[in-house]
């Protein structure tokens, strides 16, 4: 929970008056707005210069990355913060942080109740998923009010499903913290003639409007909407930019000039399609007691987010609600559960990486993720619920297997992202310990250590040997792989051509980072694949281990007898032009110091051989479904050639070595060894995952 560590550290610094100037200061805008109300200057809430001056008086310096954080909420919100602004700002910051944390916990509790989770493990996994959602931690870290919007939507849906119309209208009034979020729900209630809910909402809105008018004057009725509309034209001023917004307007700004006629037309067209899709989801009777109401609300919420001209990272916490609504529907109807669990995990990963991808490559993946969830709601509404058992990957396996796979994938993804962020690389012994902690429970840990320890020790010994394989001989072969590549590609060397076409030394593209990470996963993926086989197909684990070790040591012997230089080495020493090791950003460049101890071990390419071996075993274990694994070796083949680490002929050599090792272990020789019982005998049926076992015990 690195994000929550950052949250606690930030608020601790604020309480100690050590808050550094930076982007995590949105709470100052609320504090300053409350101070203007308390000082009877609320008519200046939307005067950015006066807000900036108040922020300087409150903090003793300018705030945010641009020196000012504008206030965008209605005056009644500032009135709520007026008493808080009487506190010292350090104390007020902690007070706001505690309130945001409480909202996050309350929302998690209500979402858990909506899902109807009963098993302790399932509850724990859900809480980890929600509280580690990047937008949720972002809201708490910045002291934002978006979790109030989440609570408003959530309570509205829950109360509607319970038939509490009037209370649902009161819950909807929470959306007036950001009024544009209430437009579509209110329009829906008008269309469906839900007068009791509308009456309570209208009464609540009238009270809040009177509070706003009393503190800011009657002119706020026109001044506030005008201010919001005008702020959509800002570009990099006062902490606001369309490129940092995640509705359709921000998405379109990445492709066409903001404030242009084309940008406006593109945004309106996308908004229109979104609204039509949302309306189509509500055709028919108003039936909030039926499970389909969950999907209908998910589609409406998705439309509200996508058409919102002021949608920021903290507001994407509502995307988690769409995913939960989809999962809740799937659990009630036993339809598309795998689909919605996958979307939930994809939402978590997209939010975790979304801002980094946006900063590095300028690609906005967060808006399409919201659209994908909305489309998932619409598509699920078209399918008919079935009374069949919950879908699983294999009929012989327990239903919890799908959940186990998703959780383990998230665990591995979290570790990988933490390694990149912390600029560290894990060797096989550390990976082994992490697998021991995250993949197995209880007594099975003893079996895991017994079966995996020899594998890890042999990999470590191989890693040590390959580091000085080039010291065992003084000759290095350079010319033959260049000649073979030119023979295969009609005079061209693919490493040269790929770098000439794709590489830009002045900027890092997304495929540069992806290729670097694929190259660096050389020792990580074998252990993960071995752990997967150990859990679910134990009878094949020993064959895989034997094939991997045969492959590794056969390659080591080749490195000693035929040391071959890679393209970047040949280019650096004058044998080839235009090829270099692609040094990337600080997030990935450190990996090369950790994973390339042998500079002349190009033939065969183990970076190509290992993925090909995984593909062969995946086909052996899972048939046609395993064939999808071919995408991984294909991506690695491209990466190692593009990065300048291997020739294509090296890749072919790796494929040949891997195929030979597979044939040796799984062919007649392997069968003969199995009959001699050199491989430990295990039952051939799949082994239930540890998560399922612990679930059954809980």
Q: In which domain, by residue range, is 333 found? A: 241-384
Question: Torsion angle of alpha carbons 180, 181, 184, 187, nearest 10°?
Answer: -70
pLDDT of 132-155, one tens digit each? 888 998 898 888 889 999 999 999
151 contacts 159 by C-beta, under 8 angstroms: no
Q: What percent of the chain has pLDDT over 90?
A: 27
Is 209 among the domain residues? yes
> pLDDT grade, residue 306 (50/70/90)?
very high
Q: Are 227 and 318 part of one and the same domain?
A: no
Asked if the peptide bond before residue 620 counts as cis, ω within 30 degrees of 0, the response is: no
Write down the pLDDT at residue 576: 81
Output the DSSP codes for 149-193. HHHHHHHHHHHHHTT-HHHHHHHHGGGGGSGGGGHHHHHHHHHHT
- 494: domain CATH number is 1.20.144
Is 32 among the domain residues? yes
**How many C-beta neighbours within 10 Å does residue 307 have?**
22
Q: Are 671 and 534 part of one and the same domain?
A: yes
Write down the pLDDT at residue 429: 44
**3-class secondary-structure state, position 613:** helix
Write down the pLDDT at residue 34: 92
Write down the pLDDT at residue 24: 61
Is 325 among the domain residues? yes
Is 441 among the domain residues? no
CA–CA distance, 342 with 34 (Å, rounded to integer) = 43
Lowest mean pLDDT among 167-171, 495-499, 510-514, 686-690: 686-690
Nearest to 138 by CA among 148, 126, 146: 146
Q: Which among 204, 231, 258 is the end of a domain?
A: 231
Q: Are 537 and 627 part of one and the same domain?
A: yes
Q: Are 218 and 268 part of one and the same domain?
A: no
Token pair of 583 as six digits: 């040094």
Is 694 among the domain residues? no
CA–CA distance, 403 with 400 (Å, rounded to integer) = 5
Token pair of 387 as six digits: 């009374």
Write down the pLDDT at residue 695: 36
Q: Are 109 and 255 part of one and the same domain?
A: no
Query: Has residue 211 got a pLDDT over 90?
Result: yes
Q: Are 58 and 85 part of one and the same domain?
A: yes
CA–CA distance, 401 with 392 (Å, rounded to integer) = 7
Mean pLDDT value of segment 103-110: 94
Q: Which among 210, 231, 252 is the end of a domain?
A: 231
**How many C-beta neighbours within 10 Å does residue 183 have?**
13
Listed in sequence order, the DSSP H helices in 440-493 are 444-467, 479-488
> Residue for token digits 């067209």?
269
Q: Are 249 and 373 part of one and the same domain?
A: yes
Q: Which among 384, 407, 442 is the end of a domain?
A: 384
Write down the pLDDT at residue 208: 94
Mean pLDDT value of segment 615-643: 85
Write down the pLDDT at residue 3: 47
559 or 409: which leads in pLDDT: 559
Q: Which of 204-218, 510-524, 547-561, 641-655 has the largest mean confidence? A: 204-218
Q: Are 552 and 575 part of one and the same domain?
A: yes
CA 383 to chain centre: 27
CA–CA distance, 372 with 485 (Å, rounded to integer) = 43
Mean pLDDT value of segment 405-419: 50
Q: List Cα–Cα distances, 469 to 336, 480, 604, in angstroms.
A: 52, 20, 14
Is 449 among the domain residues? no
pLDDT of 577-590, one tens digit each? 777 777 544 444 44
Nearest to 533 by CA among 546, 522, 544, 548: 544
618 contacts 464 by C-beta, under 8 angstroms: no
Q: Are 512 and 618 part of one and the same domain?
A: yes
Lowest mean pLDDT among 351-355, 399-403, 539-543: 399-403
Nearest to 40 by CA among 78, 71, 73, 68: 78
Q: What percent of the chain has pLDDT over 70?
A: 74
Q: Are 128 and 219 part of one and the same domain?
A: yes
> pLDDT grade, residue 456 (50/70/90)?
low
Domain count within the chain: 3
Query: Has residue 295 got a pLDDT over 70?
Result: yes
Mean pLDDT value of segment 551-561: 81
Q: Are 519 and 660 part of one and the same domain?
A: yes
**How many C-beta neighbours within 10 Å does residue 94 have?**
19
Lowest mean pLDDT among 128-137, 183-192, 430-439, 612-621: 430-439
Nearest to 161 by CA among 125, 206, 131, 116: 116
Mean pLDDT value of segment 106-126: 88
Is 21 among the domain residues? yes
Q: Are 136 and 95 part of one and the same domain?
A: yes
Is 622 among the domain residues? yes
CA–CA distance, 276 with 300 (Å, rounded to integer) = 11
Token pair of 678 as six digits: 């050199």
Q: What mean pLDDT is reported for the chain?
A: 77
Query: Has residue 424 got a pLDDT over 80?
Result: no
């Amino acid at each position: 929970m690195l994000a929550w560590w950052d949250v606690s550290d930030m608020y601790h610094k604020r309480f100690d008056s050590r808050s550094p100037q930076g982007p995590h200061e949105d709470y100052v805008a609320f504090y300053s707005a409350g101070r203007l109300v308390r000082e009877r200057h609320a008519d200046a809430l939307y005067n950015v210069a006066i807000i900036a001056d108040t922020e300087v008086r409150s903090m003793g310096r300018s705030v945010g990355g641009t020196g000012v954080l504008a206030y965008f909420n209605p005056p009644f919100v500032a009135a709520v913060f007026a008493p808080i602004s009487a506190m010292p700002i350090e104390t007020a910051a902690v007070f706001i942080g505690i309130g945001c944390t409480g909202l996050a916990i309350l929302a998690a509790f209500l979402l858990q109740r909506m899902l109807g989770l009963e098993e302790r493990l399932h509850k724990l996994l859900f809480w980890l998923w929600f509280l580690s959602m990047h937008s949720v931690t972002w809201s708490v870290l910045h002291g934002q009010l978006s979790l109030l919007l989440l609570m408003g939507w959530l309570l509205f849906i829950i109360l509607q499903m319970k038939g509490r119309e009037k209370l649902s209208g009161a819950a909807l009034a929470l959306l007036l913290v950001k009024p544009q979020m209430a437009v579509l729900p209110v329009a829906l209630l008008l269309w469906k003639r839900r007068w009791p809910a509308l009456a309570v909402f209208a009464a609540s809105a009238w009270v809040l409007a009177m509070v706003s008018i009393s503190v800011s004057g009657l002119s706020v009725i026109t001044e506030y909407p005008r201010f919001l509309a005008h702020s959509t034209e800002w570009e990099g001023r006062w902490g606001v930019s369309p490129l940092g917004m995640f509705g359709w307007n921000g998405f379109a700004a990445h492709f066409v000039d903001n404030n242009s006629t084309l940008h406006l037309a593109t945004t309106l067209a996308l908004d229109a399609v979104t609204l039509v899709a949302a309306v189509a989801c509500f055709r028919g009777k108003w039936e909030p007691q039926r499970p389909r109401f969950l999907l209908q609300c998910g589609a409406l919420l998705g439309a509200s987010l996508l058409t919102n001209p002021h949608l920021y990272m903290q507001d994407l916490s509502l995307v988690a609600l769409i995913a939960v609504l989809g999962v809740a529907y799937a659990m009630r109807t036993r339809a598309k559960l795998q689909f919605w669990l996958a979307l939930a995990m994809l939402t978590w990963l997209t939010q975790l990486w979304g801002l980094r991808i946006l900063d590095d490559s300028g690609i906005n993946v967060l808006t399409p993720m919201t659209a994908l969830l909305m489309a998932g709601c619409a598509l699920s509404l078209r399918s008919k619920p079935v009374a069949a058992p919950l879908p699983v990957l294999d009929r012989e396996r327990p239903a919890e297997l799908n959940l186990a796979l998703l959780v383990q994938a998230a665990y591995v993804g979290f570790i990988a992202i933490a390694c990149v962020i912390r600029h560290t690389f894990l060797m096989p012994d550390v990976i082994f310990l992490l697998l021991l902690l995250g993949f197995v429970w209880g007594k099975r840990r003893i079996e895991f250590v017994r079966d995996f320890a020899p594998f890890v020790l042999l990999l470590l010994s191989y890693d040590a040997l390959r580091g000085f394989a080039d010291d065992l001989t003084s000759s290095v072969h350079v010319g033959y792989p260049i000649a073979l590549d030119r023979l295969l590609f009609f005079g061209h060397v693919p490493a040269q051509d790929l770098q000439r076409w794709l590489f830009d030394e002045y900027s890092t593209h997304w495929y540069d980072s992806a290729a670097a990470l694929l190259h660096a996963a050389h020792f990580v993926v074998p252990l993960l694949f071995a752990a997967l086989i150990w859990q679910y197909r134990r009878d094949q684990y020993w064959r895989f281990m034997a094939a991997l070790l045969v492959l590794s040591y056969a390659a080591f012997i080749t490195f000693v007898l035929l040391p071959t230089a890679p393209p970047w080495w040949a280019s650096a020493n004058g044998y080839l032009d235009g090829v270099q090791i692609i040094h990337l950003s600080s997030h990935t460049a450190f990996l090369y110091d950790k994973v390339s101890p042998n500079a002349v071990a190009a033939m065969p390419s183990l970076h190509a051989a290992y993925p090909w071996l995984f593909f062969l075993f995946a086909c052996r274990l899972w048939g046609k479904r395993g064939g999808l694994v071919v995408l991984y070796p294909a991506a690695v083949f491209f990466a190692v050639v593009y990065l300048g680490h291997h020739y294509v002929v090296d890749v072919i050599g790796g494929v040949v070595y891997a195929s030979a090792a597979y044939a040796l272990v799984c062919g007649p020789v392997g069968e003969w060894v199995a009959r001699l019982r050199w491989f430990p005998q295990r039952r051939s049926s799949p082994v239930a995952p540890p998560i399922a076992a612990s679930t059954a015990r809980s």
